[in-house]
Structure 1
Amino acid sequence: MHAGAATHTSRMEARHSPPLCAHVGPLLLLLLLTGPGCSHLPGVQGKPSDFWCDHQHRTDMQNMTERLARRTAGCTDLDSLPAPIQLPCVSIQAAAWANKSVQQKSAEVMGALQVFHEGLQGPKNQTSSRACLSTLSKLETRISNYIAIVKLVYKQNGASQVSVDRCSSVNSLNQVLRHFGKLLKVKLEALAFALNDSMCNGDQRTLNGR
């Protein structure tokens, strides 16, 4: 093949080859966590049920966030912040939780996520390390993705005023992130369980791995 023809063929292949992320297929919702690179692709849309009805999807998202959180362990300037960060309550009292509507439960989770999102702003402005700033920015994106996912349920069930109970304050970002992990594993999972019948039609994938 002539060099000119080979170049033309390569250009045609590059023009028509789909991006790598377009092949992900079943893990549509996880595209939310890879940043904006895939979000503009036509036809690639994550459904709420992809997240709420499959425990493994939620676990994968938690693992991605935990890996980023571990990277901040080496950011010494984030382990003793000049100002404390308020933390939302993430534990559940079974009897009280059972008596709440899905609307109230989703509002609680939404409010807690927003507190964590706001809490990252101070450390982002205070760190002098570019590596730490990069990690914090990625964590902020992860939390924003959770907010976007929960907001869909929150609005579908009739948005009520978000109220947040703040339980403590800490001066360490690492403590903040450990607390965030508890939110994902406790209160977010409890919300997923509450949504199982209405959103998943009894799909037992919601309970897998529990």
Structure 2
Amino acid sequence: MDLHKVLLVVLSMVGSDLSCVWSKPLDFICDPEARKVMNKVTELEQDLVDCSAAASLPNSIRLPCIKVHMATWRTKSVPQRRAEVLLSLGSLLQDVRRARDQSQLGCGLNLLERLDRSINNYLLVLTHLHKQEQEESEGTEAPACLGQDSQDLGLVLKHFGRLISGKLEWLVLDMAQAC
């Protein structure tokens, strides 16, 4: 197979995982449908049902903090909220990658790779938005939230889904006022 065909196959595979690519991250903020398409948690949970081997992870993953005290949340600035979500996503991604690296070939590894890409996509969008508004967010540091550890991939997916539909969505709704 020549190099052009190999590149075409690789680009097709990458493109299939990035089903919703935006021309700018602001589209993520202003278009709820774009966020809905980007959320792959339900697909991952459905595939987990067919993959009993993936139910138990090779090592623990720190679950992201998903509980929100709304009165406290509302007192935080948008950059502080974004930093909190970025911290949760970054920590989750690090643990998922560690579990992925220790997994055997098969459906479990495939699920962890897809979860890795999904978390990374959110991180990329929020990081790019952060860079666009960096002067606004100078000096904001999110306090570390110590979530519990789990080796249950179903629970990890549940917490990731609630992080997306909770803190991330509330953050986006606040940011969407600029649309």
Q: Which whole-Å CA distance do the structure 2 matches of 1:60 and 1:124 have between them?
A: 24
- Relative to structure 1, the CA distance from residue 33 to residue 108 in structure 2 (aligned partners, 3 Å threshold; closer, same or farther) is farther
Question: Residues 33 and 61 of structure 1 are in contact (CA less than 8 Å); yes or no, is this contact kept in structure 2?
Answer: no
Give the C-alpha shift of residue 33 in structure 1. Answer: 7.0
Paired residues, what number?
163
Corresponding residue for residue 137 of structure 2: 158
Matched, 1:168 2:145: no
Corresponding residue for residue 187 of structure 1: 167
Corresponding residue for residue 46 of structure 1: 23
Corresponding residue for residue 55 of structure 2: 79
Structure 1: gaps spanning 5 or more residues = 1-20, 22-31, 40-44, 201-210
Q: Using structure 2 for the length normalisation, give the TM-score.
A: 0.78
Structure 2: gaps spanning 5 or more residues = 1-10
Q: Secondary structure, in 3 states, of the residue corresponding to 2:148? A: strand
Question: Residues 33 and 142 of structure 1 are in contact (CA less than 8 Å); yes or no, is this contact kept in structure 2?
Answer: no
Q: Which whole-Å CA distance do the structure 2 matches of 1:164 and 1:179 have between them?
A: 17
Matched, 1:56 2:33: yes
Q: Secondary structure, in 3 states, of the residue corresponding to 2:80? A: helix
Of 60, 66, 71, which aligns to 1:90? 66
Map 1:92-131; keep pairs closer than 5 Å.
Answer: 92-131=68-107
Q: Return the letter of the residue paired with 2:100.
A: K
Identity %: 29
Q: Return the letter of the residue paired with 2:137.
A: G
Give the C-alpha shift of residue 36 in structure 1. Answer: 7.0
Question: Residues 20 and 38 of structure 2 are in contact (CA less than 8 Å); yes or no, is this contact kept in structure 1?
Answer: no
Which of the pair has more CA radius of gyration?
1
Question: Residues 109 and 187 of structure 1 are in contact (CA less than 8 Å); yes or no, is this contact kept in structure 2?
Answer: yes
Q: Using structure 1 for the length normalisation, give the TM-score.
A: 0.68
Of 133, 142, 153, which aligns to 2:109? 133
Q: Return the letter of the residue paired with 1:169.
A: D
Q: Which whole-Å CA distance do the structure 2 matches of 1:162 and 1:121 have between them?
A: 22
Q: Secondary structure, in 3 states, of the residue corresponding to 2:57? A: coil
Matched, 1:146 2:119: no
Question: Residues 106 and 153 of structure 1 are in contact (CA less than 8 Å); yes or no, is this contact kept in structure 2?
Answer: no
Question: Residues 69 and 174 of structure 1 are in contact (CA less than 8 Å); yes or no, is this contact kept in structure 2?
Answer: yes
Q: Deviations over 1:133-175 (max 9, x none)?
A: 2232122111111001111222314253354302212121111
Q: Which whole-Å CA distance do the structure 1 matches of 2:176 and 2:128 have between them?
A: 15
Q: Which whole-Å CA distance do the structure 2 matches of 1:129 and 1:190 have between them?
A: 37
